[in-house]
């Protein structure tokens, strides 16, 4: 008889706890957790061209693709964490009301989420921001690897440069180094054979 009374009192207290929603109350009263995250990325201003092309039958063809800097946003995210899951589990085992409590605690956590934009910064990466186009009137530096000559010539309106025309006075096989005049750190090697 005494055990039945204690069990009833315990179950009534447990019912009162489950109805009050301990997990929800603890989540609502808890302090929000703040962390920094990367926000949206966007396209910034034009930065440079990315060049591509090749050489076919002693004719250089050159194309360029505009690239812009990538801009990222730093944001502060503040959100309350769900607390008191243990109480919800006990409520589920005895009364099944813990599901409602867990759902309400999760809703409180989601509704407390705030996102505050802090600053935008350049990531140092580049993204394509236009269509590939012909590299018309682009200055190229052509030199022999033995350093016997050094020429600076421009591509035509179609982004082409005929090496047969530029090197018409050369009648020997040449080991050429071809680079952009604006960036001579990158060069392409090419074996030029006259009349090919």
Contact 112, 80 (CB under 8 A): yes
DSSP strands (E only) in the chain: 32-56, 59-80, 114-128, 133-134, 139-144, 150-154, 160-162, 174-180, 187-192
Q: Are residues 122 and 161 in the same domain?
A: no
Count of domains in the chain? 2
Same domain flag for 142 and 181: yes
Q: Taking a C-beta distance cutoff of 8 angstroms, is the pair 78, 109 a contact?
A: no
Query: Is the same domain home to 170 and 80?
Result: no
Report residue 155 as tokens. Answer: 């591509």
Residues 105 and 77 in one domain: yes
Q: Are residues 107 and 157 in the same domain?
A: no
Task: Please give the chain's pLDDT, 196 residues, in tens.
Answer: 568 888 877 777 666 655 557 777 788 888 889 999 888 898 988 988 888 888 888 888 888 899 999 999 999 999 998 887 777 777 677 666 677 778 888 888 899 999 999 889 898 899 998 898 888 888 888 888 776 778 888 888 888 888 878 877 777 777 777 888 887 667 677 777 776 6
Alpha-carbon torsion (99, 104, 106, 107), positive or negative: positive
**Among 51, 52, 43, 47, which residue's Cα sits nearest to residue 67?**
47
- pTM for this predicted structure: 0.60
């Amino acid at each position: 008889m005494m055990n039945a009374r204690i069990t009833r009192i315990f179950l009534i207290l447990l019912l009162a706890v489950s109805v009050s929603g301990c997990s929800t109350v603890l989540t609502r009263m808890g302090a929000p957790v703040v962390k920094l995250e990367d926000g949206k990325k966007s396209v910034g201003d034009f930065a440079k061209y990315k060049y591509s092309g090749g050489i076919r039958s002693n004719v250089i063809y050159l194309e360029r693709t505009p690239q812009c800097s990538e801009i990222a946003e730093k944001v502060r995210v503040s959100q309350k964490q769900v607390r008191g899951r243990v109480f919800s589990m006990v409520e589920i085992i005895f009364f099944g009301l813990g599901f409602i409590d867990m759902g309400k605690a999760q809703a409180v956590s989601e509704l407390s989420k705030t996102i505050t934009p802090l600053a935008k910064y350049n990531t140092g990466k580049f993204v394509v921001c236009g269509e590939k186009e012909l590299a018309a009137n682009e200055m190229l530096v052509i030199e022999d690897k033995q350093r016997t000559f050094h020429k600076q010539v421009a591509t035509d309106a179609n982004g082409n440069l005929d090496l047969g025309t530029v090197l018409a006075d050369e009648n020997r096989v040449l080991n050429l180094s071809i680079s952009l005049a604006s960036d001579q750190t990158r060069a392409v090697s090419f074996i030029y054979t006259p009349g090919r």
